[in-house]
């Protein structure tokens, strides 16, 4: 039979109330026997379980501010400190996917790429842009929660970045440089194509200003 934490408290309380009906010495012996034989083997049910967010990956959440969240897990060996660093670095990498997802649909509408070779090069462009943005804003990535599961030997960490005007402005700034690199010339047949992409990003910056 499983005995949960609340059950233990209730049973112990009732046992103490009944102690007035028997001698104090006998009552103490009964209570000690109960604790050693019944309560102790089931105390593991009182341990803290992992929070629900531990099973998340990446997601967007609209609160007072729009935030991009990332959750990762790492081993606590050889040390918890190193595990947390590894966990937070993994979250930083996941922020690249959030960055890409926030702006890619806008750019796809402008370029309308159908050629497979251009599609691969477009993905290279987006990945390079995303890495640049996350590197530029890495100090803005905040670790919100950490949970250590000693039984499993792992640490979970949840981090976020605010998707505000500064975030979209960083995308625009990085893209202005990346988009003109020689390796991405195949994507743009004319200067107007580049201008349209940058204009689409500028519109996201403008929308972000409105919700401040």
212 residues of the chain, pLDDT tens digit each: 444 444 444 544 454 555 454 455 555 555 555 544 554 444 444 557 899 999 999 999 998 899 999 999 999 999 999 999 999 999 999 999 999 999 999 999 988 888 888 999 999 999 999 999 999 999 999 999 999 999 999 999 999 999 999 999 999 999 999 999 999 999 998 999 999 999 999 999 999 988 76
* pLDDT at position 64: 87
* pLDDT at position 189: 84
**Neighbour count for residue 132 (Cβ, 10 Å):** 19
DSSP 3-state of 77: coil
CB 189 within 8 A of CB 179: no
In terms of Cα–Cα distance, which of 161, 165, 163 is closest to 173? 165
* 66-75: strand order across its sheet: 58-62, 66-75, 154-162, 142-149
The reply to whether 70 and 152 lie within a common domain is yes
* Exposed / middle / buried, residue 161 (Cβ in 10 Å: 0-12, 13-18, 19+): buried
Separation of alpha carbons 56 and 196, rounded Å: 35
The reply to whether 65 and 37 lie within a common domain is no
Structure tokens at 137: 């804003």
The reply to whether 13 and 106 lie within a common domain is no
The reply to whether 36 and 116 lie within a common domain is no
The reply to whether 38 and 109 lie within a common domain is no
Of 13, 29, 46, the residue that ends a domain is 46
Residue spans of alpha helices (H) in 112-212: 116-136, 165-178, 191-210
What do you get for the CA distance between the two ends of the chain, in Å?
Answer: 55
Structure tokens at 100: 């890409």
* pLDDT at position 113: 85
The reply to whether 93 and 9 lie within a common domain is no
The reply to whether 14 and 78 lie within a common domain is no
The reply to whether 56 and 136 lie within a common domain is yes
Structurally, the chain folds into a number of domains equal to 2
* pLDDT at position 49: 86
Residues spanned by the domain of 17 = 5-46
Q: Which residue has the tokens 């959030």?
A: 98
The reply to whether 134 and 67 lie within a common domain is yes
List of residues 6+ apart from 72 with CB closer than 8 A:
87, 88, 90, 91, 94, 156, 157
CB 167 within 8 A of CB 137: yes
The reply to whether 85 and 151 lie within a common domain is yes
pTM, rounded to two decimals: 0.76
* pLDDT at position 63: 83
The reply to whether 83 and 123 lie within a common domain is yes
The reply to whether 82 and 15 lie within a common domain is no
């Amino acid at each position: 039979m499983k005995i949960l934490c609340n059950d233990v408290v209730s049973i112990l309380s009732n046992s103490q109330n009944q102690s007035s009906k028997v001698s104090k010495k006998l009552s103490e012996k009964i209570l000690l026997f109960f604790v050693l034989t019944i309560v102790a083997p089931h105390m593991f049910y009182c341990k803290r379980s992992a929070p629900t967010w531990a099973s998340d990956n990446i997601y967007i959440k609209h609160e007072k501010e729009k935030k991009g969240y990332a959750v990762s897990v790492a081993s606590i060996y050889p040390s918890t400190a190193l595990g947390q660093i590894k966990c937070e670095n993994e979250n930083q990498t996941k922020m690249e996917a959030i960055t890409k997802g926030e702006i890619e649909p806008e750019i796809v509408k402008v370029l309308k790429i159908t050629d497979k070779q251009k599609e691969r090069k477009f993905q290279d462009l987006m990945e390079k842009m995303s890495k640049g943005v996350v590197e530029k804003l890495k100090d803005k990535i905040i670790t919100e929660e950490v949970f250590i599961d000693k039984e499993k030997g792992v640490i979970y960490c949840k981090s976020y970045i605010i998707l505000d005007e500064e975030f979209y402005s960083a995308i625009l700034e990085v893209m202005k440089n990346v988009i003109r690199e020689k390796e991405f010339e195949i994507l743009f047949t004319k200067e107007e194509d580049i201008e349209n992409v940058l204009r689409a990003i500028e519109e996201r910056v403008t929308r972000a200003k409105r919700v401040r």
